[in-house]
Structure 1
Amino acid sequence: MEHTIQLMENHLNIDLGNPPFMNLDNGLQIPYSSITGITTGSPIPNAFKIHGFSFLGKRNGLFRFDGDYHLYFFNNKVDTLHFDLNQFVVGKFIISKLIIEVKNPEEKSKTISERLT
């Protein structure tokens, strides 16, 4: 599944398709002010699955790591974009990390980072 990111004036629109196990039909709208860091290809935390899918390196859903909630949407951990988030709420959860698979993660990271400064 290809995830698309649109850079808007004050936020990112991230289209996640229709992920199984989660009602995110409208994707995510993340304010730039909620993004505290962005990296690529970082190690994936060994998180505990709360709600979603985790099998053979593929992850899709809500996970818990070190007391924080994370959202993961990837089949290939090499092509991932990692967002560190501050006070970003999805449903009743405060999400501290979002990891999604995208094409050209380094290029997207650079483009988004320019908006953060």
Structure 2
Amino acid sequence: MNIGGGEAADQLVRMMLSGSEVAVRLSGSAIKNVLALTMALAKKHKTISGKVNLAKMLKETRDVRRFAMSPEQYQQFRQRAGKQKILFSAIRDSDNKGKVVDVIMPVTEIDRA
């Protein structure tokens, strides 16, 4: 007859500690993997739609086309391109008095535009 009952309590504490140790290890491993994935995606950040810098567009694709538009046409194009998620770059005159806005788009986006 076991009067103290210490062995059962010791086993219970040992099981709880080992279970919590496994849970901490698994969560730490999951956090490490998620952070590694996030860092990999951050380094390869590629804009897939919207207005981008021309240098960035040329890094991603070499085959581009230029379209000349009036400022009014460009405003309409920007609104529609945002809805359809079209990648483009705009070039304006440096004096802001230009009557023409050049829109540069990759060839793959022309079909959707």
Instruction: Give the TM-score of the pair, scaled to structure 1.
Output: 0.26
Q: RCO higher in 1 or 2 (8 Å CA, sep ≥ 6)?
A: 2
The structure carrying a bigger strand percent of its residues is 1
Look at both structures and tell me which one has the larger radius of gyration over its CA atoms: 2
Instruction: Give the TM-score of the pair, scaled to structure 2.
Output: 0.27
The structure carrying a bigger helix percent of its residues is 2
